[in-house]
A and B are shown apart, each in its own frame.
Chain A
Amino acid sequence: MSSTPDAVHMINVSKHFGGVRALDGVSFTVEPGEVHALLGENGAGKSTILKILRGVQPPTSGTIEIGGVPLTIYSPEASRAAGVAMAFQEMSLVPTLTVAQNVFLTREIKAGGLIDDKAAIAETRKLFAAMGVAIDPTRKVADIPAGHKQLTEIIKATSQPCRVLVLDEPTTALSQTEVDRLFDYVRQLRGKGVAIVYVSHRMDEIFRIADRATILRDGKHIVTAPMSEFTLDSMIAHIIGRRSRGFSDVTRETATLGEALLETRDLSGEQKPRAVNITLHRGEVVGVAGLLGSGRSSLARLICGIQPIVSGEIRIKGKPVAIAKPRDAIEAGIALVPEDRARQGFVAFHSVESNIGLPSLDRLSKATWVDRAKAAALAENSIKRLRIKTDSRKATVKTLSGGNAQKVVIAKWLATEPDVLILDEPTAGIDIGSKSEIVTLIRDLAKSGKAILVLSSELQELLAACDRILVMSDGRIVRDIARHELDDPANPDSIDALQHAESKLNKAMQEARGGAVQ
């Protein structure tokens, strides 16, 4: 025990949401002058810890000390006053203000009662110089590249003295040299005694920058140890754990493949994806795994005509098709169940029926007159077929649970009778029961002769749903792994088998990142 107090000292902290324990008696300590990695899957409790540190949510029980002083009030202002600075993953910058104005937002430098922009610009320039990157403080945030935004976010967080700096996925938009600069900067701060809590899914970076790591799983503390005591394998094993929950009720028969329905040839977008070649056959479910920023969702948006194709081509049943807008993709028989349900998937205050009918309006109508009997029948059939739980087809989608709302989105796309169905994060924010229902549905749809592409950050879901998994990194497809290659022939037990497959896939993804870094 040293005499200096811990920078962060959380003792036995729990956080309950209704019956759900997001954090369950977690103790977590960060010393001054160390980089402490906080690891775990989505839903393991990382973001809850960050929210408590940031003062956004009070813990249900337990105590938190920052630099030896207990936190009594939970508010962003109180946290900031205690010395906690945070660089937000979700970008807290105002796009219409300049870089310098953003850095000094709410604590503007003043001269004679008026805001002194010149001083702010000079000060910001100094801060960036310390990091070793040249970002023009006078440019509007909207006009700078995503990587520069991310660095501005970090500069903003560290522009006033802090005891604890929280970095949440700070490198997703950064180039390799920018990552190097950032790490140098983090080491400078560490040298000054700042405690850094580092959250990331990128293990290669964790091994480079962190001194110690804490791993959470299902809201519980699993292990804290110096990085030298971990290997990539042991780390992944701790993160995944051994569990029985999940998709054990999903049966995955061997797929019978038909002709190629969708092919991409060197398909590239503005930044990502880059020269992607994929082939989807009738009857198969293909997964795309990749970390945040790998270009997964861009690939889907390109194929569906939402983002412009810069080069390469898309073929449907062997024939090249020009896809410039969503309508083209729908007519070519491609449907996208988008990533952000509420924003891209449905009209929340319109009925189940009108949402399901929207992409198929032309088919449901004769010379612009909507055939109401047909529209009603489509809605009723969809509700029955997908077992959508709703008061009636007239109920608004916002009254439905996440899982049922997602089924409405799937139903609306099935109604267009697509050959190719692309699902981006199909079970995000859905309870586990509905998750396996949706995965089962995906399997059934493939069996009925569709080609399906699933993009997901949840590996278990990919393993349960897919016949083949493509690993994406930095906009490219770097691995193509048949699902059975991930099985462990020596271990037929289903839980162990799933765990084995998950660690193998996880490792493939981490190695893919290493491979992309040249």
Chain B
Amino acid sequence: MTDSAMPAHKAPSPIANWRDYIIYIGFVAIFIIFAATLGERGFLDPNNLLNIIRQTAIIAVVSVAMTFVLGTAEIDLSVGAVAGLASVATAMGIDHFGILGGIVCGLGTGAIVGAINGWLTTGIGIPSFLTTLAMMGIARGVAMWISATAAIPILDKSYASVFGGGNLGPVPSLLIWMVAFGIVGHVVLRRTTFGRRVLATGGNETSARYSGVDTVSIKFRVLMLSSVAAAVAGMLYAGRLHSGRFQFGEGDELSVIAAAVLGGTSLFGGAGTVVGSIMGALMIGLINNGLVLMGLEFSQQLIARGAIIIIAVAISQTKKR
């Protein structure tokens, strides 16, 4: 054992680990391409850019919570349906009890669904994939049933301005929601014992359990968190579109999971960043916007979007051999 046998101390350099930053590189690259090719079609117009944020903020909010769920190597497919249900519950709550009652109804919906998802997954032991797949149907069905499939209007102006509809000066309130979720989520994942235990649970559940981590409670809590975040998303839809509708959030679960995975979160648990997930959501929004401005038909947009996501994930995954 000579000194020369010791490996040299070197800090991991960002350049060597460029694939960890693929989401940022990709985001910038696509932004530049769109700016160059779609500049005269209004891509760089501040209104268009704010529109991208308005369209993706709700996905971003849920993707923050999804980062935690995927971090424990679980999944939540019910987020889109829960958003729809929460929008209906909020609208009905506002109608009956006023704005505060509406907020309680919305958040309560998320908490109840989350507790059921968490209990079925950790208490009964049904894989979260199945629990939340079933819950997706149940939540959507309940939303249709209690609203009689009709939109429930929200007439309260202050609710709409706080939840997604309004602006704070030039800043859309949706952007504030997204940033707030991002900061809180990032700090909780990186800097608290809960966040560390989430990643340890997903990274190697046996080892985490041997280390005294209560993996059951951690999984319960992330499923709870994800449903509550989905409920907030539903409330933002309700505020933005002045109504509660069972259709809100339809298909969002896939966009949310795609955003998180694009941002570097592993579907197998143990790795992920909140900032990455938000960037993933923004990238999907950016692509959608650019493809629309290019004048592609919806069918072509779907194909192009799928292809871009596959390329991005493929590049980020090649190192993991």
Contacts and interface: CB of A to CB of B under 8 A. Distances in A.
Interface of A: 304, 306, 325-327, 329-330, 336, 338, 343-350, 354, 357-359, 361-362, 365, 368-370, 372, 389-392, 394-395, 412, 433
Contact of A327 (B194, B204, B214, B270): B214
Contacts of A433: 1
Interface stretch (B8-16, B115-123, B150-158): B8-16
A392 B11 contact: yes
B271 A349 contact: yes
Nearest to B11: A392
B211 interface: yes
B193 A368 contact: yes
Interface string B1-44: 10000111111100000000000000000000000000000000
Contacts of B191: 369-370, 372
B204 A343 contact: yes
Given A358-B208, A365-B192, A368-B194, A394 B270 contact: no
Contacts of A326: 209-212
Contact of A350 (B6, B199, B209): B199
A349 B272 CA distance: 12
A357 B199 CA distance: 13
Contacts of A357: 196
A344 B209 CA distance: 8
B196 to A, nearest CB: 6
A370 B192 contact: yes
A361 to B, nearest CB: 4
Given A357-B196, A389-B6, A347 B212 contact: no
Given A344-B210, A368-B194, A370-B191, A392 B9 contact: yes
Contacts of B209: 306, 326
Contacts of A412: 211
Contacts of A336: 210
A391 B203 contact: no
A304 B206 CA distance: 14
B274 to A, nearest CB: 16
A500 B232 CA distance: 73
A338 B192 contact: no
B81 interface: no
A433 B5 CA distance: 14
Contacts of B317: none
B211 A359 contact: yes
23 contacts: A326-B209, A326-B212, A327-B214, A343-B204, A343-B206, A344-B210, A346-B207, A347-B199, A347-B270, A350-B199, A350-B200, A354-B196, A357-B196, A358-B197, A358-B200, A361-B196, A361-B197, A370-B193, A391-B12, A392-B9, A394-B11, A394-B12, A395-B12
B1 A349 contact: no
The 4 closest A-B pairs by CB, nearest first: A347-B203, A327-B212, A359-B211, A347-B204
Contacts of B49: none
A490 B207 CA distance: 47
Contact of A358 (B10, B11, B194, B211): B211
Contacts of A343: 204, 206-207
A163 B211 CA distance: 49
Contacts of B144: none
B203 A349 contact: yes
B265 to A, nearest CB: 13
Contacts of B206: 343-344
B11 A344 contact: no
B222 to A, nearest CB: 15
B256 to A, nearest CB: 24
Contacts of B270: 347, 349-350
Contacts of A354: 196, 199-200
Chain B interface size, under 10 / 10 to 19 / 20 to 34 / 35 or more: 20 to 34
Contacts of A345: 207, 210
Nearest to B188: A368
Contact of B212 (A330, A346, A390): A330
Given A361-B193, A365-B192, A368-B192, A346 B204 contact: yes
B189 to A, nearest CB: 11
B213 interface: yes
Contacts of B204: 343, 346-348
A343 B11 CA distance: 28
Contacts of A347: 199-200, 203-204, 207-208, 270
A145 B197 CA distance: 35
A349 B213 CA distance: 18
A325 B213 CA distance: 10
Contacts of B200: 347, 350, 354, 358
A362 B9 CA distance: 30
A347 to B, nearest CB: 4
A326 B210 CA distance: 6
B201 to A, nearest CB: 9
A348 B191 CA distance: 20
A330 B212 CA distance: 7
A365 B1 contact: no
Contacts of A329: 212
A362 B213 CA distance: 11
Give the interface centre of B7, B12, B193 by most chain A CB atoms within 10 Å. B193
Given A365-B192, A390-B7, A391-B10, 9 more contacts: A304-B210, A326-B211, A329-B212, A343-B204, A347-B207, A361-B196, A370-B192, A370-B196, A412-B211
Contacts of A350: 199-200, 203, 270
Contacts of A368: 192-194
A372 B10 CA distance: 20
A188 B213 CA distance: 52
A347 B7 CA distance: 22
A366 to B, nearest CB: 10
A344 B12 CA distance: 27
Contact of B213 (A304, A338, A344, A358): A358
Contacts of A304: 210
Nearest to A364: B193
Interface string B267-279: 0001100000000
B27 to A, nearest CB: 24
A358 B284 CA distance: 35
Contacts of A365: 192-193
B210 A338 contact: yes
A171 B245 CA distance: 65
A514 B77 CA distance: 58
